Amino acid sequence: MSAGSQALARWLKRQQTVHAKSIDLSLTRVTTVARRLGVDRLHCPVMTVGGTNGKGSVVAHLQSLLHAAGVSAGVFTSPHLLRYNERIQVNGTEAADEEIVAAFERIESARGAVTLTYFEYNTLAALLIFAARAVDVAVLEVGLGGRLDATNLIDATVAVVTSIGFDHRDWLGDTLDAIGREKAGIFRAGCPAVLGSPDMPASVFAAIESIGAQPVVAERDFRWQVAQEAWSYEGGAWRFDALPPPALPGSIQYRNAATAMAALEAWGRTEIGDREIIAAGLSQVALKGRFQIVPGPVEWILDVAHNEPAARVLATHLRERPCTGRTFAILSVLADKDIAAIGRELAPLIDDWILCSITEPRGLDAAQVRERLALPQGAQVLLADSVTAGCERARTLAKPGDRVVACGSFWVVGAALAALGLY
C-alpha cells in the first residue's frame, strides 16, 4: 500500500468517529463548513440525481454522454464497491489518494468545532476537487433521501428523481408520499425537475408545483420506443432514431438512458444534442454491479439489488435471460433493509441460496440473513462466513450451464468483483 493510500485509510477510519451518528440527516453542519471553504456554491452548473433506484445508472449515462460531448464533468457517487476513490471522478478518472487527502486536510482546518459524518466529509471533498479542477458541470448522486442529504447544500441547475419506492424507512418515512416528499427536496424554483417515471406519489408533483420547478416527466414530456436492434428518443426538441442500445444490460436501461438524455436536453447545452455524440455515449457507458454479466461456462450476474424495487427489477431481468441449469444466489443484505421483501421477489428464480455474513456496520451474520429472508420450507440454503467464502462455495458447486447471481448489497458485489479478479 502506497503512502497516499495509507494516509487515506487513516482519514477514513477517523471519519467514522468524528460525529456521534453515522447517519444524521441535516444540512446545517455541512453547509456551515461548505461556506467556510467557499464551496456552498459551485462555479458551474449542477445536475443532482435522486430517487430510490436507478440513480447510479442515470449518473453513469450522464457521465458517458458528457464525456462523448467533450464536456468536463465532475461526478460524485456513493457508496463505492472496493475503493473510496470511485466516489469522486473527473472526466471518468478517479481522484487520486493524495488529492482526496489534501481535501480532507482543508475540511479539517475549516470545520473547527463542527462535527461531520463520513458522508459529509465525502461530499465536501468532492466539491473541493471539482472546484479546483474547474469542471464544466458537476453531477451529484444523492446519498440518502434528498431534502436533508449533504448533496442538497448545492442548488441543482437540473434535478432528477428516477423512481420512488420503499427504502430507508427509518429515515424517510413509512409511506410513498413521505418518501417522495423527501426525494423531491432537491428541486429548485424555475429549474427543470426531471422525473424518470410518471408513476410518482402525489407528493412529488405537489412539491414541483409548490416550489415552482419546471416538470419534465417521462412518457409525457419525453418518450422512447425500443425495437429489436435499436431504439428512438423523443423529447422537447431532440429527436433521435436508430440509436444503439445502452451498453448497460437490462431493459430498464432504456428508461435510465432516456432520463439522462432528458436531463441533458433540459440543461440546454445544444452541442450535446447531436446524434453521433448521443450514440457514442450510449455505446460507451459502463457501471459495475448493475446487472453486470460475466460470461463463461458458469455465468455470473452481479447486481446490487439492495431493496424491494431493485430486487423486482433484477427478477425481471433474470426472467428475460433464462438459464438452462441451476441458479445460485450469493446474498447478504444490511440490517436496515426489508430482507423478506427482497427474498419474495427473487425466490421463484433461485434454486440454491448461499447466504453470507457481512462484518461491516449494519451487516448481519449469515444465520440472521436466513432468519429474516423467510424462504419457503425446503429451500436449498448454505451459510458462509464471508462473501469471499460464498463465492468460493459457488465456484465449487456450479456446473457448466448454471449461473451465479451475487446480489443484496454493495458489499456483496464488491467482494464478488474481487473474487472474480475484475477489480
Query: In terms of domains, do 276 and 348 share one?
Result: no
Query: In terms of domains, do 272 and 360 share one?
Result: no
Query: In terms of domains, do 187 and 335 share one?
Result: no
Helix and strand totals (H; E) in the chain: 15, 17
Nearest Cα to Cα of residue 405 among 324, 305, 334, 309: 305
| CA atoms of 222 and 234, how far apart (whole Å) | 6
Strand spans (E) along 132-234: 137-141, 158-161, 192-195, 214-217, 223-226, 231-234
Query: In terms of domains, do 216 and 355 share one?
Result: no
Q: Does the pLDDT value for residue 168 go beyond 70?
A: no
Query: What is the number of other CB atoms lying within 10 angstroms of the CB of residue 110?
Result: 18
pTM (2 d.p.): 0.94
In tens, the pLDDT along 73-99 reads 999 999 999 999 999 999 999 999 999
In tens, the pLDDT along 351-407 reads 999 999 998 878 899 999 999 998 888 889 999 999 999 999 999 999 999 999 999
CATH number at residue 411: 3.90.190.20
Average pLDDT, the chain: 95
Q: Which residue has the higher pLDDT, 293 or 423?
A: 293
Indicate the residue type of 266: A
Query: In terms of domains, do 113 and 225 share one?
Result: yes
pLDDT (0 to 100) of residue 1: 72
Query: In terms of domains, do 11 and 54 share one?
Result: yes
Q: Does the pLDDT value for residue 169 go beyond 70?
A: no
Residue at a domain's end among 235, 254, 284: 284
403 lies in which domain range?
A: 292-419
What is each CA distance from 311 to 266, 315, 368, in whole angstroms?
Answer: 30, 6, 19
| Triad 79, 80, 82: Cα angle to 5° | 150
Residue at a domain's end among 284, 305, 325: 284
pLDDT (0 to 100) of residue 423: 73
Query: In terms of domains, do 276 and 309 share one?
Result: no
Percentage of the chain lying above the pLDDT 70 cut? 99
Query: In terms of domains, do 239 and 299 share one?
Result: no
In tens, the pLDDT along 211-234 reads 999 999 999 999 999 988 899 999
pLDDT (0 to 100) of residue 117: 95
Q: Does the pLDDT value for residue 343 go beyond 90?
A: yes
pLDDT (0 to 100) of residue 420: 93
Indicate the residue type of 357: S
Query: In terms of domains, do 269 and 297 share one?
Result: no
Tell the residue number behind the cell numbers 460524485, with chain if given: 76
Query: In terms of domains, do 102 and 205 share one?
Result: yes
Residue at a domain's end among 232, 256, 284: 284
Q: Does the pLDDT value for residue 69 go beyond 90?
A: yes
Cβ(96)–Cβ(84) below 8 Å: no
Q: What is the mean pLDDT of residues 287-308?
A: 95
Cβ(156)–Cβ(189) below 8 Å: no
In tens, the pLDDT along 12-66 reads 999 988 886 877 788 999 999 999 999 999 999 999 999 999 999 999 999 999 9
Structural domain count, the chain:
2
pLDDT (0 to 100) of residue 377: 83
Nearest Cα to Cα of residue 300 among 325, 332, 337, 282: 325
In tens, the pLDDT along 176-197 reads 999 999 999 999 999 999 999 9
C-alpha cell at 226: 425500443
Q: In 285-404, where does DSSP find H-type helix? A: 308-320, 339-346, 366-373, 387-397
C-alpha cell at 117: 459524518
CATH number at residue 151: 3.40.1190.10
pLDDT band at 10 (very low <50, low <70, confident <90, very high): very high
Q: What is the mean pLDDT of residues 93-116?
A: 97
Query: In terms of domains, do 304 and 216 share one?
Result: no
pLDDT (0 to 100) of residue 3: 85
Query: In terms of domains, do 253 and 309 share one?
Result: no
